[in-house]
């Protein structure tokens, strides 16, 4: 009973801060997305590949990186000329709204930013519970995983507006069935927008980036 009450208080406080984050971002015309996935699904590679496409569309964006340790991913993104800030979570398996709130002054110092990409810690359970102040949650799964993931982790798929099925170039070499993955995802969340991408071949990256840019600019 006490554990439930403590968790409810933590989530309630998180939601309060998330609402403040959302308001601050909206007031400055910055649209935020929260990218979530299991470890190794290719979130960082997807962001890297998005960079050129979004730059070609004239869209400025910044990235807040969440990792248990190190700054390898933020350095990878910075190589593409994209400002990136690392949040090291230590033992915490997800980002929370309080951590993101501390990154916002840095975000607002960047010039010409229309989009904030928050790359969450690789985890398919905890991030579903924590609102960060984003406008869109993007789930990334890959062909290196099981096509039944949506049925096994329904909360995170239900909380997402878009699904990116990544590493599609690997599908012919695995038992992963892209069609089945799509059907399973839509069973859980019929409103999901689904994209298929390969960061190795570049397939689908342009379509995903154009969709994202359209959402960001239409929302303004």
User: Domains of the chain: which residue ranges?
Assistant: 2-218
Contact 85, 61 (CB under 8 A): no
Q: What is the pLDDT of residue 220?
A: 55
Q: What is the pLDDT of residue 1?
A: 43
Calpha distance 211→160 (Å, rounded): 15
3-state secondary structure of 130: coil
Q: What is the pLDDT of residues 60-72, one digit of tens each?
A: 999 999 876 667 7
Q: What is the pLDDT of residue 5?
A: 56
Answer whether CATH 1.10.3720.10 is correct for domain 2-218.
Answer: no
Q: What is the pLDDT of residue 60?
A: 96
Q: At what angle do helices 2-27 and 97-109 cross, to 10 degrees?
A: 10
Q: What is the pLDDT of residue 90?
A: 65
Q: What is the pLDDT of residue 7?
A: 61
Residue 93 burial class via C-beta count within 10 angstroms: exposed 0-12, middle 13-18, buried 19 and up: middle
| Positions of the chain with pLDDT under 50 | 1-2, 6
Per DSSP, the residues of the chain read: -HHHHHHHHHHHHHHHHHHHHHHHHHHTT-EEEEEEESTTS-HHHHHHHHHHHHHHTT-EEEEEEEESS-SHHHHHHHTTT--EEEEE-TT-SS--HHHHHHHHHHHHHSTTEEEEEEE--S-SSGGGG---S-SEEEEEEETTS-TTHHHHSHHHHHT-SEEEEE-GGGGGGSS--HHHHHHHHHHH-TT-EEEE--TTT-TTHHHHHHHHHHHHHHT-
Calpha distance 135→34 (Å, rounded): 8
Per DSSP, the residues of 162-211 read: EEEEE-GGGGGGSS--HHHHHHHHHHH-TT-EEEE--TTT-TTHHHHHHH
Contact 115, 33 (CB under 8 A): yes
């Amino acid at each position: 009973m006490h554990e439930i009450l403590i968790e409810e208080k933590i989530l309630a406080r998180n939601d309060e801060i998330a609402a403040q984050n959302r308001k601050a971002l909206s007031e400055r015309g910055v649209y935020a997305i929260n990218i979530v996935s299991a470890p190794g699904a290719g979130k960082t590679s997807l962001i890297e590949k998005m960079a050129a496409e979004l730059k070609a569309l004239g869209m400025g964006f910044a990235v807040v990186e969440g990792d248990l340790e190190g700054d390898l991913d933020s350095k990878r993104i910075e190589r593409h000329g994209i400002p990136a800030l690392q949040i090291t979570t230590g033992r915490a398996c997800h980002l929370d709204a309080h951590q993101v709130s501390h990154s916002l002054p840095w975000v607002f110092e960047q010039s010409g930013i229309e989009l904030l990409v928050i790359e969450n810690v690789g985890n398919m359970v905890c991030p579903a519970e924590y609102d960060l102040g984003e406008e869109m949650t993007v789930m990334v799964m890959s062909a290196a995983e099981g096509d039944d993931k949506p049925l096994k982790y329904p909360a995170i798929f239900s909380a997402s507006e878009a699904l990116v099925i990544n590493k599609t170039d690997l599908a012919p070499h695995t038992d992963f069935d892209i069609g089945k993955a799509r059907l399973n995802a839509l069973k859980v969340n019929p409103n999901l927008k689904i994209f298929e991408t390969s960061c190795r071949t570049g397939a689908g990256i342009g379509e995903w980036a154009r969709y994202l840019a359209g959402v960001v600019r239409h929302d303004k």
